[in-house]
Chain A
Amino acid sequence: MSLDIRPTLSALLRNRTGAVLVAAQVAIALAVLANAAYLIVQRIEKIHRPTGIDEQNIFVIESAGFTARFHQRASVREDLAYLRGLSGVIAATATNSIPLSDSGDSDSLVTRPDARRSGYINDLEIDEQGLETLGVRLISGRNFRHEEIQPPRTRSDVSRFVPVIIVSRELGEYLFPQQNPLGKQVFDAFNHTATIIGVVDPIMGTFPGSEHPDRVFFVPRMPDEFIVVRYLVHTRPGQRDALMRLAESHLATSNADRVINFVRPLTYFKNLSYLSASSMEIYLLTVTALVIAVTSLGIFALATFNVSTRTKQIGTRRAVGARRRDIVRYFLIENGLITSVGVLAGCALALAAGYWLSVRYALPRLDLYYLVGGVLALWAIGQLAAWQPARRAAAVPPSVATRTV
């Protein structure tokens, strides 16, 4: 092998332009591939994180009262009784906000009344069927009881809190590291206290795009009187769409003092929240595929050209004793050398681009595994693309050497 590299190299050096162009393509391709792959994997991880919610079998109804006659509590009671009575409905709850919708409520929650408050924690109002509606399992403690569900906040007691809450496992670990959060007290923004009576499996709240979407607590209360009411309905698999139509046609006319703003599957809200991440993913995948295609075509075209312009030399080599294998090897080594130069430059380029992305756009720094993967992939692509032209070169008969053209 080592014997072959020197003549290959000197031939290359005499005819640099084509080689430089291919090396440049490889370099750019590596920089794009490594960084794009890294970004894609981050997006995929984000989009496909488990939500802890049985999102496929849940739909959302939004109801808005608009007249002075509208009695919110009676309406919620009536609507829930209707929804829970439908065959195919597993559970239903009234709530203030829609899980995974990127819009909802937060409260400041601390473990000591004098603690420094540093951020907000997502909360969701549910009733005793709330956990079953979301399809989330209690790890420890107990569910809310029916009599614990607080009446809605009205226009004159907005800062009222609740005596008990249920927290997600992540929130429990965050508030009480290395302790059992069960039975512990927490303090809301007004230093009203509540006791943690249950801990549930990992679950995402209403803000999937936030830094800690899984720090959530559940509040046993009917949604505020002065906002729209949402119902979450958990159905048996396959019955969601039929039940949505049924519920919409009934609720639209059951109470003239309110309107039904929409009846939609929960996946609608989830998809919207992830829309830009998933379109970015599709875009990056497309560009990655195109980069690979264009690069391999470029390598293929140049190798083909090299073979066709060197027909005579190949014939000569064959005539003086080179085997077909040697010719194939020559072109593959040539390609390997070019790709290596390109890959070296590409590593520098990829790291520079990765560094720039991380500094300028606060993206995580390029993981070196992606660079190694990109290097291997480009070597493989280079050898594959050069393979067919090399085979063609090997097919040149020695007699070509004796012809003039």
Chain B
Amino acid sequence: MILDKTAARKLTDRVCKLATAKDVVVGLAGGRTANTRFANNEITSCGDVSNVRVSVAVAFGQKRGSTATNQLDDASLRAAVAEAEEMARLSPDDPEHMPPLPPQKIAEVKARDPKMAAGAAFDAAANQKGVEACLGPSLEKKLVAAGFFESADRFQAVANSAGAFAYHAATAASFSTTVRTADGTGSGWAEATSWKLGDVDAPAVARRAVEKSERSVQPRRLDPGRYTVVLEPEAVAGLVGMVRFGLRAREADEGRSYLSKPGGGNRVGEKLFSDKVTILSDPGDARIPGQPFDGEGLALKPTTWIEKGVVKELIYGRYWAQKQGREPTGAPANIIMLGGSATLQDMIKSTDKGILVTRFWYIRSVDPRTLLVTGITRDGTFWIEKGEVTHPVNNFRFNDSPASLFANAEALSAPVRTSSGLAVPAVKAHSFNMASISVAV
């Protein structure tokens, strides 16, 4: 269920008035999502779900408590507020509690597609027709398609007892498909995602996955080792996502992060990556608009975290920022890795010997001291020789650090929006550690 700005304000006012505590923060999150799932060339399940969640955080001095409910009747809201207040009264002081923020100047972000707001992508018959059209190429070529189409129309709001109020509405649409050959020796994946339904060209996504699937059949054996890699944006996104976790200031200052400095403090100001690497956040970015405020209602501003390989800024929550005498940044609204002028084709052309990676799977941290992570290549891994993609190769388990990858980066493309909600480029880098063979397809 979508609440517009006026209805959201009315609801947050209702909840604030129920509280006796001086400090009250009310959060709303809700909307409608619909999905159609398919596998083995047929639709298998679907969903159409509405929900609104109200969260309440209260404090008496430094004593605080919080609750949440998705029932909006008076009795349920009153009970939620009463429970939060009871917990706060029973709680010991929390020295990290921060009082509610004063009203913030929050830039409005355009992130709601009028067509989706009007109900497009929530029509079951239209969605079935769209999915069926994407199954066509697989059925014709006797390939096996699985995939997922999802649409969402959501809103978030935060209000507090100091008079602050923030509201944001956003739509999202995504279509992904994995196409496998009937003999199970080939697999290709592709996806498109945007806040605008019109940007999601599902038939084009299906064609890309079919092409990758057919090209990846009968991979040849390639030994583990260090290779030059050309990583498509989806593969890069998985690794950039791990860097994001390492940007928290408190962990760095406390000596338990990749960005902790031996002897104390953090590594802001140090050049840790190739000068090709710049990572920033900007809720107003048109490719990947983000919610312009955090869960406390703090305005999120454009922030450059890494600039030309130098760590420029870390993530500061309000408590840690105050303790360190700084302005809080809040958590990133989105992550954008700036790119270069190369195209994916340029990167392949400039590679004498290397591996083209479509995407990674099951990426997990191995050593937070070095940002070492492990994961698996999947759904299209190819050998490059003398500037051309020559044949498919087996998948690999890699063990490497995004820090090393970015230190070894040689070329970047323009960034694109990926499935994980990051905008990142394709990256060519040398010496990437493919640790062992995965025979999985």
Q: Is B a genuine binding partner of A? A: no
B interface residues, Cβ below 8 angstroms from A: none
